[in-house]
């Protein structure tokens, strides 16, 4: 099986895998962001990642072949189709390399499958064909989307950089909502802690939330005319001391260590409705970012059930945690 992780976090991913499945687990690095692991069922590994026990793995596929160069179209299609339980109408194809590019691999696979009557898309299908072009070999994999962790090549989600964007931090929340399939309550109330300049607030509004944006700093002028955005120009502690609103969602992308962020979310839990949703980024740093993230998650467990915890593509040195209030 092939797994991807951010290049800087590859060692942390290996540590997690061996912690979950045993120190003797065979793991080989085959790319800057790609490793090969033997002896673990893909569904078992995917379940451990989805539950947040493994946080630094971003994408999974079951390796079916390795080449010096891609074979002829007919052989390539046969290799892929032989791995599927039934003949598909359509497949998703993901192709990437350690550097830029990957498009040529995508089009080669697309042409091979189209010749066999199989439509190809870049996402949204039950099964995903993954092709990684490395310096030593081209690796081909097939996996169910449900066990792939991400619908993007190697977990590298690419989002549009439109002029409407308030900040780059928007990508983190947008990716979390898409990757974990989160559904925010229609007409819900959300509180955005450390909101300035308002990127996460803007995404919450796109998902139909009335937002209380808490930050002494200012919001982007484009957000000020929205009557369903309430800028609370104060700290989170002072806001909670006087707040009387019950929220459906709380988000926190504040720059503080993992445990301090988690404790702030405990304060927020008292202002959440039952089963309220929490999304927080636990910042990395220090000598042991994995241990720090685990400590933060342990703190969150006092008031929340952790649903997901993963280093997403836009996280850099962070872990995105999604949790639900359990009392």
Q: Is the Cβ–Cβ distance between 253 and 169 less than 8 Å?
A: yes
- DSSP notation for 176-228: HHHHTT--PPTT-EEEEET-TT-HHHHHHHHTT-EEEEE-SSPPPGGGTT-TT
The one catalytic residue among 89, 136, 172, 283: 283
The two tokens of residue 3 are 């797994």
Catalytic site includes residue 283: yes
Torsion of CA 265, 266, 270, 273, to 10 degrees: 60
| Per-residue DSSP letter, 246 | P
Close Cβ partners of 55 (under 8 Å, ≥ 6 residues apart): 16, 49, 290, 293, 309, 310, 311, 319
Give dist(CA 317, CA 272) in Å, integer: 28
Task: Catalogue the active-site residues.
Answer: 283
């Amino acid at each position: 099986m092939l797994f991807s992780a951010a290049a800087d976090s590859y060692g942390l991913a290996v540590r997690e895998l061996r912690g979950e499945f045993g120190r003797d687990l065979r793991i080989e690095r085959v790319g800057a962001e790609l490793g090969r692991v033997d002896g673990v069922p893909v569904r078992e590994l995917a379940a451990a990642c989805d539950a947040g026990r493994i946080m630094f793995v971003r994408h999974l596929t079951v390796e079916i072949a390795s080449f010096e160069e891609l074979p002829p179209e007919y052989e390539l299609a046969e290799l892929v189709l032989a791995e599927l339980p039934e003949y598909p109408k359509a497949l998703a194809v993901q192709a990437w390399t350690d550097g830029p590019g990957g498009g040529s691999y995508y089009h080669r696979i697309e042409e091979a499958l189209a010749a066999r009557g199989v439509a190809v898309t870049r996402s949204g299908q039950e099964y995903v064909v993954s092709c990684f072009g490395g310096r030593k070999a081209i690796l081909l994999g097939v996996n169910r989307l449900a066990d792939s962790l991400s619908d993007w090549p190697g977990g590298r989600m690419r989002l549009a950089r439109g002029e409407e964007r308030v900040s780059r931090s928007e990508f983190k929340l947008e990716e979390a909502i898409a990757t974990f399939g989160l559904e925010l309550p229609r007409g819900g109330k959300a509180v955005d802690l450390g909101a300035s300049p308002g990127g996460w607030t803007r995404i919450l509004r796109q998902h139909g939330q009335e937002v209380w944006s808490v930050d002494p700093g200012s919001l982007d002028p484009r957000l000020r005319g929205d009557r369903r955005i309430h800028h609370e120009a104060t700290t989170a502690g002072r806001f909670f001391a006087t707040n009387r609103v019950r929220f459906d969602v709380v988000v926190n992308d504040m720059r503080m260590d993992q445990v301090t962020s988690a404790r702030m979310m405990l304060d927020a839990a008292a202002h959440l409705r039952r089963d309220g949703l929490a999304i927080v980024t636990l910042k990395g740093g220090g000598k042991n970012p994995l241990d720090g993230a685990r400590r933060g998650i342990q703190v969150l467990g006092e008031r929340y059930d952790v649903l997901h915890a993963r280093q997403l593509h836009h996280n850099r040195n962070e872990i995105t945690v999604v949790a639900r209030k359990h009392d």
